[in-house]
Amino acid sequence: MSFTGGITVNGTLNVQSWGNQGVVTVNAGGVLSNSVSNLVSGGGSRIYVGSVSTPGGQLNLQGGTSLDLQGSLLVNNGTITGPTNVYYGSLAKGAGTFGAVNVYDGGKFSPRQQSGQRDNRRRNPQQRRPVPCRDQRRLGYGRD
């Protein structure tokens, strides 16, 4: 079974053998539970679990299933239980809790705060890190 269009989960939604070709939003307090086969999110589709302003929501992958991102976007500001596979053309990001994340060629995983959040870590602008240089000649070595 495949889903196209948009769906918003505010309660509990149990799905089996389900695929996403649209936009799925799991709001804080909402639970999307998948079983039987992997949940596939295809090209151009999006899944949002929680949001920056209201974190929460759960995506549960049960019975050995996984979330397979194939050319899609996942923004997680809630909790994902179970593995996420990030394939070519996909991006998984967010400040939420992820299970195991497997990134394949052409996929990207960026677990961190979302835009709009302030980073309160202190930085010392005087502190510099060395920059590695692969060409030793630039450092004065190996000159003729």
Q: Measured between alpha carbons, how far is 13 from 24 in angstroms, rounded to an integer?
A: 11
Tally of domains within the chain: 1
137 found inside a domain: no
Residue 45: domain span: 1-87
96 found inside a domain: no
42 found inside a domain: yes
Q: Measured between alpha carbons, how far is 43 from 90 in angstroms, rounded to an integer?
A: 8
Q: What is the pTM of this model?
A: 0.77
For 111, the 3-state DSSP assignment is: strand
For 59, the 3-state DSSP assignment is: strand
29 found inside a domain: yes
141 found inside a domain: no
Tell me the pLDDT of the chain (144 aa) as tens digits: 566 779 999 999 999 988 999 999 999 999 999 999 999 999 999 999 999 999 999 999 999 999 999 999 999 999 999 999 999 999 999 999 999 999 999 999 999 855 544 443 334 444 444 444 444 444 454 444
135 found inside a domain: no
Element spanning 130, H or E? none
